[in-house]
Structures are given as structure tokens and as C-alpha cells.
Amino acid sequence: MPITIVIGSQWGDEGKGRITDMLAAEAVLVARFNGGDNAGHTVTVGDQIFKLHLVPSGIVQPNALAVMGSGMVINPKKLLDEMDYLMDSGIEVDPQRLGISAGAHLILPSHIAIDGAAEIARGDGAIGTTKRGIGPAYADRTAREGLRVGDMLASDFRQRVIRRILDQNKGIVALYNLPPLDATEIANRYEQYAERMRPFITDVSEQVHQVLKRGGRVLAEGAQGTLLDIDHGTYPFVTSSNPISGGVITSLGVGPHTVDRVIGVSKAFQSRVGEGPMPTELSGEPAVALRGTGENPWDEFGTTTRRPRRCGWLDLVLLRYAARINGFTEMMITKLDVLSGIEPLKTCAAYRYQGQTWNDMPFGPDALSKVEPIYDEHPGWHEPIMSARNREHLPGPALEYLQTISTAVNVPISYASVGPERDQIVHFKSTI
């Protein structure tokens, strides 16, 4: 059995964690392939709500092996804290259940200092990063100066950390006017982290190959979303990795022919946290109707930073774009329940830009911040739908809304979720 990829179709927080959890029940191996603890993935099992930042969401299911690919950047303290949190919650975390690629890069305190300082220096042009050191760690990786998880196996790891911090201190002092970091203290801490992490360090590509060879299903869990992709997203308001399906191939070290399912996860509306263009953004009461007030665990406040998310109508131009970039074979629409009681519903079918109608992503500098959305209106429904489990349980307008999405994107919808719980999912047989 080959690889199934779960991809965020928007700007992150689409509900990737919960679908990964569901599909992990059938998988032998579940891999995160990009990003770091900028991600926040939620898995809800009864009254237990797991918030995962680094460890693949598949760890919550008892059987799958969870691995972290070389395309990731890992803050070792955050990882070890997360492992402790999982063990305290009754989940086994040992080298039989969790593997970390030797090729993944390490986030250092200097990356975090630079991330924060660079945001301040950008002033009005700030990206709104999570300040987790993600961008600077990927910059080091590309510059071939970063430390990798595999360096933790070297006898001179301590010296490598000291050298890198001393080097980064030069920029921290000269460019950002900050005090230098204490390289010795950091090296001491990183040596302790290395001691705990060593048994988990592995050759992830080889592990994935072994599972595929034996006919096991591999599940790749994207972090962030297509529109945050460093190559194809809304640059420069993006993250520094490849959250798209192509990222799986490089991070896990597999060939493209090993992939047979690419599931694009999209909310039933649009959300974004951080800066950057968002054509369908709403303000005032209509935005609150989508965001919620914060009283429900699923309301639109960041899992990682608690920032309120910007909300707006579903943008079908961008969803079509995401389907193209990733090669979606199917889609999942999440948070359909949130639309109950909103009348009428709108979707953005096309843009008006430079006097023309654009059905696809406009081409041109800063185009997305200048487009005007062209909306279609749809009848809403008033009944709560959180207990729907099959298509017959959904009101007609909800089915029509899903049909509109599927037709506009030309990709079948396999699942729609109507609540955060494991079983709050409607399964379709690719008829929508």
C-alpha cells in the first residue's frame, strides 16, 4: 500500500490533526514532513483534547509508528516537553513508537532571538510569525550552516553548538543591538537534550521504505497550508518550508510514484493568522459568526499563539489553486457545523482585478492584495448538524454547499466534518 498525504489547502488550521488521527487507525507509519512547533494540531478524543506541535498526530492512535522527516526544524526542548505531556496523558512514547530524522534541523535559542528581532525590524512589513525561530532555522539550513539532529550523535556536539551560537551572536549584536547569548549555558542544555533524544534518532527514509516494501500504509501529515508555502504561497507572508504535497517527497526521501492519495483539507470558510492578503476577509459581526467568541474549544483562536484568527467567506479561487499545486485526489471539508444559522452563505467564485474577471490565481505583483472578490450566494440552514453521520442526516442546503465546492474545484469530497470529535464525520463515496 502506498502513501496518503494530508495537506492544508488554505493558510493552516484546517483540521489536519483530526483527519490524520482518523486515518492513522489504518496506517503503519505516520510522518510529519515540514515545519516545526509553529504548527498546532488538535485531536479530540472524548473529553481529552490533545494539542500537538511537533509529534505527528498519529501518535494518539495506539499502533502507528510516528516519525519526523528531514524537512522539519525541531526545537528539542519543545519536543521533549511534548513527549512528556503525551506520556502524562497515557500515550506510550518510546523509540518503537517515535523516530526523528537525523537530517531534520535543530532550532537554537539564537534562531528564536533573531525571529523576534527581525519581526520588530520589519515594522509595518512584519510577517506575523509565530516567533518560534522557524525562518532563521530554515535560513541556516539553506546557507548550510545549521545544526542537524544527527549532530547530536557526534562526540563534539557541544563544540558545534558553541561555535554556531558564537557565530550567530555576531549578527544578534551588530544587526539587532541585542546582548549576546551565553553559548556555554546553551551548549550545556543542548547536551542534556541530546542525551534524551539520541535513542529516537533514525533514518526516516529507510523506515518509510521498509514499511512500503512490506505493503504497509504510510500517512504523511502536512503542517501549515498551501498558501503559506515558501514557493507557491502568498510570499513573503508565508512560512519557510514546503507544506505542499511536493514537500513529502523531499522530506521523507521517497519517489513520487509511492503516493496514491492526496487529501486537501479545507475549512468550510476561510481563516488566516498572521499578516498578508486575504481577499474574502470579513470584519465585525459576520467575522465573529465564523470565529466564535472563544467559548468553544474549536473557536478561531490560534492553537500555538492564541491569536484571534482572521475569518472570511470560502475562497474557491484559492481552493482551486491549492488543488492544482498539490494534485488533490480528494478533499475534506471541516467545520461545516459552524455555518449552521448563517444566512445567506457566500463563496468567492472569481476575482475582479485590473478590470478583468479572474477565475484563477491572478498573476502580477501584489495581485492578491488588490483583487475584489465576486461572490455567489447560497441558502443557509438553521438546524444544528453536529450529530450528522451520513449524507441523509445533512440538510439540503448543506449538501448543495458541498456540491458547489466540489464542482468549482473539480475534486470529489470524501469527508465533511461536523464537530471536532473523532466520530463527527460524514463519509461520502466520492459522489460529492
What residues make contact with ligand GDP under the rule CB under 6 A?
8, 12-18, 40-42, 44, 297-298, 303, 334-335, 337-338, 417-420
Nearer to Mg ion (CB atom), residue 40 or residue 103: 40
Q: Which of 21, 41, 105, 337 is catalytic?
A: 41
Q: Binding to Mg ion by residue 241, rule CB under 5 A?
A: no
Residue 13 among the catalytic residues: yes
Q: Which of 13, 37, 151, 337 is catalytic?
A: 13
Among 32, 97, 132, 335, binds ligand IMO (CB under 6 A): 132
Among 70, 303, 414, 417, binds Mg ion (CB under 5 A): 303
* Cα gap 388→264, rounded to integer Å: 22
Place of cell 444559522: 341
Closest CA to 353 of 277, 410, 274: 277
What separation, in Å, do the N-terminal and C-terminal C-alpha atoms of the chain show?
25
Applying CB under 5 A, the span of 34-42, 109-117, 154-162, 251-259 interacting with Mg ion comes to 34-42
Nearer to Mg ion (CB atom), residue 40 or residue 247: 40
Nearer to ligand GDP (CB atom), residue 114 or residue 385: 385
Which residue lies nearest ligand IMO, judged by its C-beta? Answer: 274
Can you read off the three cell numbers belonging to residue 378?
Answer: 447560497
Site string for ligand IMO, 83-102 (x = CB under 6 A): --------------------
Can you read off the three cell numbers belonging to residue 267?
Answer: 475549512
Contact partner at residue 34 from ligand IMO, Mg ion, ligand GDP, none, CB < 5 to 8 Å by partner kind = none
Contact partner at residue 298 from ligand IMO, ligand GDP, Mg ion, none, CB < 5 to 8 Å by partner kind = ligand GDP
Q: Binding to ligand IMO by residue 331, rule CB under 6 A?
A: no
Contact partner at residue 65 from ligand GDP, ligand IMO, Mg ion, none, CB < 5 to 8 Å by partner kind = none
Closest CA to 245 of 225, 266, 217: 225
Specify the amino acid at residue 321.
Answer: Y
Q: Binding to Mg ion by residue 40, rule CB under 5 A?
A: yes
CB of 305 to ligand GDP, least distance (A): 11
Nearer to ligand GDP (CB atom), residue 13 or residue 330: 13
Among 239, 329, 414, 417, binds ligand IMO (CB under 6 A): 239
Contact partner at residue 132 from ligand IMO, Mg ion, ligand GDP, none, CB < 5 to 8 Å by partner kind = ligand IMO
Side-chain-facing half-sphere of 356: CA atoms under 13 Å: 8
Closest CA to 148 of 69, 213, 205: 69
**Binding positions for ligand IMO, rule: CB under 6 A:** 8, 11-13, 38-41, 127-130, 132, 134-135, 223-225, 228, 239-240, 273-274, 303
Catalytic residues: 13, 41
